[in-house]
Chain A
């Protein structure tokens, strides 16, 4: 089945630094979603992308839908302590009627004060 590969698996940064992470697939996706998960909580949707080449921002977060439709990027500017958590990319597989999401393995972000 379709799989999503996220990198890096973990990041250790200083507060105030910018963050960049990406997600790639061997097959195309028509939708890319980025979620953040805090400890003990379910994932929360950050940004949804529906069109190849689309660039969307949500506050300090910016995500792009790659033009090949096989990758997506998430950037966080001027990181703050509450950005700590696990970031997941996700998307629905290209199967007619499929509503389930395939998730990447996540990027764990740690911020050093």
Chain B
């Protein structure tokens, strides 16, 4: 079946603008995760959704970052008043509940000028 998809694949924005990144998880996967990967680095956890439970927001770096998941499927990560240090690849992953085998999308490369 289809894998995790993300859009856009690339986003260039100006400092101070807001951006929205979208993730479509694998159908039937109840858990959805957002990670950030800076150039040449490993992945940094941002936020996690599991079913109807309150999301785990412990990885969000500031209150400029927020995410929502509508209808238990599609998720949107919003970054307000973007800064140059927000430039990174933002990766989304999904998994079946209670499993750790997360499947990743191709990522959105965000560049803040």
**A residues neighboring B (CB under 8 Å):** 4, 31, 33, 35, 40-45, 48, 88, 90-92, 98-106
Q: How far is the CA of A44 from the CA of B91 in the complex (A)?
A: 12
Interface centre among B33, B43, B44, B93 (most CB of A within 10 A): B43
Q: Which residues of B contact A43 (CB under 8 A)?
A: 43, 91, 104
User: SS class of chain B's interface: helix, strand, loop or mixed?
Assistant: strand
Contact status B105-A100, CB under 8 Å: no
A-contact bits for B95-113, CB 8 A (1 contact / 0 none) = 1000011111111000000
Contact status B31-A42, CB under 8 Å: no
Out of A31, A42, A105, which one reaches B93, CB within 8 Å?
A42
Out of A31, A40, A103, which one reaches B100, CB within 8 Å?
A31
Q: Which residues of A contact B100 (CB under 8 A)?
A: 31, 33, 48, 91-92, 99, 101
